[in-house]
Structure 1
Amino acid sequence: MKESGPGGGLWRLYKMGGLTPAITSMFNPRNAQQMAFIRQLLKDQRRHSLLDTSLHNLKVVVFDLETTGFSSAADEIISIGAVSMAGDKLEEESFYTLVNPNRPIPPHIEELTGIRTEEAAEAPDLITALREFFEFVGARVLLAHGSAHDKAFLNAALWKTSKISLSHRVLDSLMAAKWLMPRHKDYTLDSLLELYGIPVLRRHHALDDSLMTAELWKKLLEEIGEMGVDTLGDLYALLGKA
C-alpha cells in the first residue's frame, strides 16, 4: 500500500529519523525555528573559554530535572528547574517549567514529584521547554548534584529534538563534596543538606531542589576556596583526579 502524507518517500524517511534538520523544517516550521535557536546557542557556547575564570566570579546555573524514570533512553523529562548564581551569590533569576512527556506519568513518580499526568499533558512540549531553558542558561556553566543523570537526559532530549549534544561545561556538587570529604559515607543531597544545616524545601521538585543545591554549593565553594583552589580549570583538574 502506498504511504500517504507530504512528500511520499520523504515522509517515510522523516518518520524513521533519516532527514536532516534542515529538511524537517517543512513539517513543523515552529519546531524548526526552535531547533535552529538551540543549535546556534550551543554552537556559540563552545566559543566561551571559562577555565581561567575565578570560582568567586563564575556565573553558574544550578539546575535539576524530574523525569518519568531513570533511563534516559526510555524515559522523559517532566520538569526543569534552575536558579542563577554569580560566585557564591544567589541571584534573583529563576526558571521553572513542566514538560509534556506525551505519556502517562507512572503513579510512583506522580507521588514522588507531585506532578500529575493531567497537568503535564497541558505543559509545553520538549523542544519548547529546552529552548526556554537554554535561553535562560545562555553561556553560563551548568551545575547539578549527581550530574550524570541530568546530563544523560539533557543529551538525550537535545539529540531527539535538535540532533546536537550538550556543549556546556558542567559542575557536580556531589563530586566536589567527595573531593572535600573523601571519608564521608553518604553524598546524597539529603545527607549533605543535613550535614551543612541547610533547610529542606520540597524534595523532588525541580526548582526547590535547585535552590537547595545552590545553598549547598555556597558552602562547598567556601571550603574549596580555603583549599587554595581559585579557577574553574583548577577545580576541574582536581575533580578529574578524585
Structure 2
Amino acid sequence: MLPIDLQILKYLFFEKPIYYYKIRPFINTDIHRELFIQLQEYDCLEVHNKSLLEIDYTIFDLETTGFIPEIGHEIISIGAIRMHGNRICDNETFYKLVNPIRPVTKQTLTLTGLKKEQLIQSDSFLECFKEFLSFCKGSVLVAHPAKFDMRFIQTMLKRWKLPPLNTPVIDSQKLAKFLYPNEKHQLDPLLKKFQIQRRTRHHALNDARMTAELYGHLLEDITSEKNRTFGELKILLSEKTKASNR
C-alpha cells in the first residue's frame, strides 16, 4: 500500500476525476432524488429528556475500503440490528453489500471475506443507504466508534451530492471510556471483558450484533445508580472529551 501522502496525491490528480465521472450518471436519477428527499425529511428524534432504557436504537457497523473517506475510500457493507432499551431485537436486522465505484484491494477482500463478484452484483450506495435509512427510522444510532462510521457516512453523502444525515448518535467507545477509564476501549478487549461470544470479525452484521451485546452491558452500568436520559449522557461524554483534551 502506498504511503498516505502518495495516496492523497494519487486521489486528487488521478482518481478523483474518474470517481466523479463514474458517479455522474446516478445524480438526479429517481433513486437519487428519493434519497435526497428522504434525508431532508428524516425525523430528528426528540430524545433529549428520554430515558436511555426507553429509547429505540439501531446498532450499526460499516465495512470500508480504507480508513480515509476524504481520499475516496468507500463503504462496501452495512450491518445493523435494532434494540429497545437494553433488549436486542433479534428479528430486526439489516445487512447489505454495496457495489463500490473504485476497485477493491485484495487486502480489503481478505480482511472482510467478501468476494469481488459479490460486490459487483450488489446494489449502489444510493439504493443501500435508502434502505438503511428506512430501517433506522425512529431510532438513535450507535456505533463503535461512531466517530469513524459517521464520518464515512457524511463524507459519502457529500460525495454523492446529498444532504447530511441529521440524527442523534451515541458512540459506544466513548461511553466505554467514560465507564472504564483505565481499560482498553477497542471492541475486542471489551468483548473479552464481558465474555461476549466472538463472531467472525470485519463482517458488518456480526460486528453490529457484538456491539449491540456490548452496548447492553454499557447501558446497564451507566443506569445502575441513576436512570439517565439521553441528554444527560451526551453532557457526561462531552465533559469527558473536554477534560481529555486539556
Point out the more displaced range, 36-45 or 124-133. 36-45
- SS of residue paired to 1:45: coil
**Which whole-Å deviations, capped at 9, do the CAs of 1:159-217 have from their partners, x for residues lacking one?**
22242112011111100000001111x11100000011101011000000000000000
Q: Is the 8 A contact 1:38 1:162 kept in 2?
A: no
Equivalent residue number for residue 162 of structure 2: 163
In the TM superposition, residue 229 of structure 1 has moved relative to its aligned partner by: 4.7
Counterpart Cα distance in 1 of 2:74 and 2:66:
7
Residue matched to 1:96: 95
Q: Matched residue of 1:213: which SS?
A: helix
% identical aligned pairs: 35
2:77 is matched with which residue? 79
Q: CA deviation at 1:100?
A: 0.4
Residue 38 (structure 2) aligns with: 41
The letter for the 1-side match of 2:143 is: A
Q: How does 1:3-14 map to 2 (within 5 A)?
A: none
**TM-score, scaled to structure 2:** 0.83
Cα separation, 1, equivalents of 2:26 and 2:177:
46
- Correspondence 1:1-242 to 2 at 5 A: 32-73=29-70, 74-91=72-89, 92-184=91-183, 186-242=184-240
C-alpha distance in 2 between matches for 1:42 and 1:50 = 19
SS at match of 2:160: helix
* Local SS of the residue matching 1:81: strand
Gap runs ≥5 in structure 1: 1-14, 18-23
1:81-119 per-residue CA deviation (whole Å, 9 max, x = no partner) reads: 000000011112100000001222111111110012221
In 1, the alpha carbon distance for the partners of 2:140 and 2:185 equals: 22
Normalized per residue, the structure richer in helix is 2
Q: Is the Cα–Cα contact under 8 Å of residues 51 and 233 in structure 1 kept in the other structure?
A: yes
Rg comparison, structure with higher value: 1
Query: Amino acid of the residue matched to residue 154 of structure 1?
Result: I
Runs of 4+ off more than 6 Å: none
